[in-house]
Structure 1
Amino acid sequence: MTPPATSVEDFVHVYEPGTAPDAPTLLLLHGTGADEHDLLPLGRALAPGAALLSPRGRVDENGMNRWFRRLREGVFDVDDLIGRTAELAGFVGAATAAYDLDPGRIVVSGFSNGANTGAGLLLLHPGLVAGAALFAGGAPLQGREPAPVDLSGTRVFLGNGVADPITTIDQSRLLASQLGERGARVLVREHAGGHQLTPEVLAEARDWFAREEF
């Protein structure tokens, strides 16, 4: 799917240039009710020195920022997700040009609603990002089988809680399966907790990011 033409101004966002030579770019996607500032500390922790591109979701759910509509908790409006993900892909392309980013070294990282959206970018817009570090996210296209896209060369870290009542572990494992079946190299780390990012999983994700050398 070709993303629609989008201006970098179409999304409220924060951009922090990288401070390390040849640093990659982290595309940071917040969870429900947060904003473009929420995941900046996560980005700095995951990849010190990386450039940070952190937009704000454009859906308003009772005053809370989101990336796409849902019918109720845990049930997505999949058509809206597809359209909103295309808008976001267009923004990434526009930001790549506006900030002179290396399109081959963009890694998406998100939590919860942002992780689901990051998974949507992987499955619906293959090649847009080089990898992903997603936390408390699951398979985004609920009830629909993703297209058989080629994700070979895409590297993914998934961190999820086995007791998560919002994103069930079955959904996170389904996402891992969908990505792996399409050629992505997936590292899964599960923790005993719920809808959260634990310090242990964060440390493993940081080590993974350093090893992958995006």
Structure 2
Amino acid sequence: MSKKFLLILFLLWNTLLADSLVLNNVLPQNNSTIKEELYPVGLNNTYFSYITKTYEDGVGSYFWTFKIQNISTNKIEKFISMEQVNKVQNSLPKEFIQKIENIEKQYKISRKENLKLRSFPLCKENSVIKSSIKDFKHITKGNVTTKIKNVVLIEDDKLSKEIAQVKEINFFGHLKYYNYNLAGYIYDKDYNNLIVVVTFNKKADEESDEIFSFKVFGTNLSFRDKVKE
């Protein structure tokens, strides 16, 4: 097999790989000035990998970030970022893709093309899993007010499992987080892993641009029956 032929195969693979990473944007369109989008990539029984794209209307730059998140602890184990200037929105730089490949091999992550956002509840054989965001407590110290909320899963309205906490912080009008919403979930039946997607808008102050963003929280459903497709 000639080197020229191998080079052509390599370039073709890179092109196909770039397309496969950006096809399934799970977040809805939003009218905020600054947006962050989520593209799920793959997972295994421990990690969930995804790409975020952040951009601001009228600027012309896109910031791509590839993240590896631990499903049990929700800790970001690894991330790499790259700025892309004046390019087509859904086109990843090839050098960025090559770095992603190396990280995926390190964490033994499998590509998944069917990771789509779905709406709660999750129907199982004999029960239902729902998710909700509940106020936990308010902490005020001086001019700083923190509201902590729990993201919980509920099965049959009896079993409640907290999967994460989100915080709203107000400090002299800065770091205002508001409008938390449950966008839905991403479920993979091979590993029985559930990724809950929470969207929110935030502003630094009343004069700042509104930013549309999200948080993802993972949990394994191994202690439950598998979710019925």
Global fold match (TM > 0.5): no
The structure that is helix-richer by fraction is 1
Question: Which protein is bigger by CA-based radius of gyration?
Answer: 2
TM-score normalised according to structure 2 size: 0.28
